[in-house]
Amino acid sequence: MTKPELLAPAGDLEKLKMAITYGADAVYLGGESFGLRKGAKNFSLEEIDEGIKFAHSRGKKVYVTLNIIPHNEDLVGLEEYVENLYNLQVDGVIVSDPGVFSVIRRTVPNLPIHLSTQTSITNFETIMFWYNLGIKRIVLARELSLNEIKEIIDKAPKDLEIETFVHGSMCISYSGRCLLSNYMTGRDANRGDCAHPCRWKYYLMEEKRPGEYFPVYEDEKGTFIMNSKDLCMIEYIPNLIKTGIKSFKIEGRVKSSYYVATVVRSYRMAIDAYFKDPENYTFNQDWLDEIKKASYRDFTTGFYFGKPTGDDQVYASSSYIRGYDYVGLILDYDEESGIATIEQRNRMFQGDTIEIFGPRRKHFTQIIEKMWDEEGKEIDVAPHPQQIIRMKMVEPVEPWYMIRKNREDGING
């Protein structure tokens, strides 16, 4: 068996560096045009160049999304853009449209092209159609079971790579091909600007009774009738590996750096543990518990073990569950004094209990006994965004370690 690639989202340069530091083999990102995540900060060409250099120096890869379903005006500048990406030595681009595919093959024929899940590929014949055109990696539709994926992989040419999503938000529409956002808000989901109307709360109003709203119930649990749970397959790593999937993809380019680090870290640990000793591998509940310390909806296995049922929806609320806040990033550590330099990300108070974790170690807990600002003045609270503070650590730490603390309410709407 070949160890699968762990592929992480990168919504900006910090998230790219965080994903790779915490164990991703590759990242995917969007540029300022041609991608499907306007909500992410996205990358200028200069930032893509920096990200590629950071990744390649560590033996990792970078893929760029060009997966919009374009109108004529959306194609303007594509040739120049893909030439720039090729010159920056990007490891591949992700496309969904045959026209975009044709432009890339004509302009930079040696640039590897991956086929996006937006193409809704669910069968072997469609795979062979694209393979014969030169595609060497395909991101399958989310609507396939493990058995269907295995059948495709068993039939496919050995040099064709299959990639599937293993974690993250699920779209209510088939492979993300949704028109609701465009119809209701004028924001085109297939051009990167989805308003997520599937997460809204709906009521029924009769035409001749304006202002009289009746709740729409899927059942007695609530009214969020299209709100899917999040995909999470970390408990089934052996099943995914034995199927022959080449790349395990995590969704979340608009999620936080903390989310990316936390999720990537757990999947990295699970994959490495399996390959260290496949015969004696057992799932470690800590991996899932750690993921739950980032924001999430309740989890589902999607279509992997059969079609979703009512249990795969969240009817009561569209809010994320968020039990922890990301409060600080370790920038530096002095071994002699045991004092860390920290960039604040959320308020911290003297007396708070915090958890510190890094990419290659279990978290540890300590109480904030003292903090100092940049001038060395002792402070009892760090209230300012990205404020630089110093704090004594009870155990050694390294740059890129993260600090979190438990929230009292546990829910963030």
| pLDDT, tens digit (0-9, with 9 covering 90-100), for 151-192 | 999 999 999 999 999 998 866 655 555 666 665 677 766 555
Find the helix or strand (DSSP H, E) in which 364 lies. Answer: strand 361-367
Asked whether residue 247 falls in the same domain as residue 389, the answer is no
Q: Which of the four pLDDT bands, split at 50, 70 and 90, describes residue 411?
A: very low
In a domain, 277, yes or no: yes
In a domain, 183, yes or no: no
Instruction: Indicate which CATH number applies to the domain containing 335.
Output: 2.40.30.10
pLDDT > 90: percent of the chain: 68
Q: How far apart are CA 32 and CA 41, in angstroms?
A: 8
| pLDDT, tens digit (0-9, with 9 covering 90-100), for 217-254 | 655 555 666 667 789 999 999 999 999 999 999 998 88
Q: Which of the four pLDDT bands, split at 50, 70 and 90, describes residue 37?
A: low
DSSP 147-201: HHHHHHHHHS-TT-EEEEEEEE---SSGGG---HHHHHHS--GGGT----GGGS-
Asked whether residue 72 falls in the same domain as residue 139, the answer is yes
Asked whether residue 108 falls in the same domain as residue 237, the answer is yes
Residue 409 predicted with pLDDT over 50: no
In a domain, 65, yes or no: yes
In a domain, 53, yes or no: yes
Nearest to 98 by CA among 79, 113, 80, 84: 113
Segment among 1-5, 366-370, 390-394 with least mean pLDDT: 1-5
Asked whether residue 164 falls in the same domain as residue 273, the answer is yes
Whole-angstrom CA distances from 332 to 22, 307, 371 are: 17, 48, 15
In a domain, 138, yes or no: yes
Average pLDDT over residues 95-118: 95
Number of domains in the chain: 2
Asked whether residue 49 falls in the same domain as residue 159, the answer is yes
Last residue of a domain, one of 307, 333, 360: 307
Interaxial angle between packed helices 146-155 and 124-132, expressed in degrees from 0 to 180 and rounded to the nearest 10: 40
Segment among 69-83, 178-192, 291-305, 382-396 with least mean pLDDT: 178-192
Average pLDDT over residues 311-317: 54
Residue 123's Cβ-side half-sphere holds a number of Cα atoms within 13 Å equal to 3
Q: Supply 27's token pair.
A: 């990242």
Asked whether residue 142 falls in the same domain as residue 269, the answer is yes
Per-residue pLDDT at 193? 67
Asked whether residue 238 falls in the same domain as residue 273, the answer is yes
> Mean pLDDT for the chain?
88
Residue 206 predicted with pLDDT over 90: no
In a domain, 213, yes or no: no
Q: Which of the four pLDDT bands, split at 50, 70 and 90, describes residue 323?
A: confident
Per-residue pLDDT at 147? 96
**Three-class secondary structure assignment of 9-29:** ECCCHHHHHHHHHCCCCEEEE
Q: Which of the four pLDDT bands, split at 50, 70 and 90, describes residue 322?
A: confident
| pLDDT, tens digit (0-9, with 9 covering 90-100), for 263-277 | 999 999 999 999 999
Per-residue pLDDT at 410? 39
Instruction: Indicate which CATH number applies to the domain containing 118.
Output: 3.20.20.70
Expressed as residue numbers, the domain containing 267 is 5-172+230-307
Last residue of a domain, one of 307, 333, 367: 307
Asked whether residue 234 falls in the same domain as residue 100, the answer is yes
Q: Supply 104's token pair.
A: 């890339």
Q: Which of the four pLDDT bands, split at 50, 70 and 90, describes residue 413?
A: very low
Asked whether residue 236 falls in the same domain as residue 351, the answer is no
In a domain, 104, yes or no: yes
Last residue of a domain, one of 280, 307, 334: 307
Asked whether residue 292 falls in the same domain as residue 337, the answer is no
Asked whether residue 37 falls in the same domain as residue 133, the answer is yes
